[in-house]
Amino acid sequence: MIINHPLLGPRDSAEFTYLGDASMIHRPNWEADDAVAQFAEYGYQRANPAGLHRELWFHEGGDRSWLVITRDTTTHEITSVEMARDVARAEGRTK
């Protein structure tokens, strides 16, 4: 797979490591009443879809940025690559 890094251009996927579902950007609030249940869900349950999947990749062998990649899990085709920072901010995460 070739990952088209927003800053660095096309890079070999072997330079990256994979974390998983991009919903992990949204860590639950530890002060919430149901924080324990929320963290169990956050830590362990995954949608694991067949088809488009938004996921976190880390450019470990490169500029060490986090990316949000949209990829089809049935074909491995990558349709979008964004900086995870931009995605997180756009989705309202502040810390």
Partner 1 sequence: MRYSAFKVIKEALTGHRGWGPAWRDVDPQPEYDTIIIGGGGHGLATAYYLAKVYGGKRIAVIEKGWIGGGNVGRNTTIIRSNYLLDGNEPFYEFSLKLWEGLEQDLNYNAMVSQRGILNLIHTDAQRDAFIRRGNAMMLNGADADLLTTAQIKKRYPFLNTENARFPIKGGLAQHRGGTVRHDAVAWGYARGADQLGVDIIQNCEVTGFVIENGVCKGVQTSRGTIKAKKVASCVAGSSSRVMEKAGMRLPIESHVLQAFVSEGLKPLLPGVITFGAGHFYCSQSDKGGLVFGGDIDGYNSYAQRGNLPVVEDVCEGGMAIFPMLGRARLLRMWGGIMDMSMDGSPIIDKTHIDGLYFNGGWCYGGFKATPASGYVYAHLLANDAPHPTATAYRFDRFAKGLMIDEKGMGNQPNLH
Binding site for partner 1 (CB under 8 A): 1, 12-14, 17-20, 36-37, 40, 43-50, 53, 55, 71, 73-76
Residues 53 and 71 sit within 8 Å (Cβ to Cβ): yes
Q: How far is the CB of 52 from partner 1 (least distance, A)?
A: 11
Return d(Cα 23, Cα 91) in angstroms, integer: 10
Residue 59: both structure tokens together: 């450019």
Q: Nearer Cβ to partner 1, position 3 or 88?
A: 3
- Which CA distances in Å does 41 have to 10, 48, 67, 70? 34, 13, 23, 22
Q: How far is the CB of 32 from partner 1 (least distance, A)?
A: 16
Q: How far is the CB of 94 from partner 1 (least distance, A)?
A: 25
Which is it for strands 66-72 and 9-12: parallel, antiparallel or unpaired?
A: unpaired
Q: Nearer Cβ to partner 1, position 48 or 94?
A: 48
Q: Nearer Cβ to partner 1, position 75 or 94?
A: 75
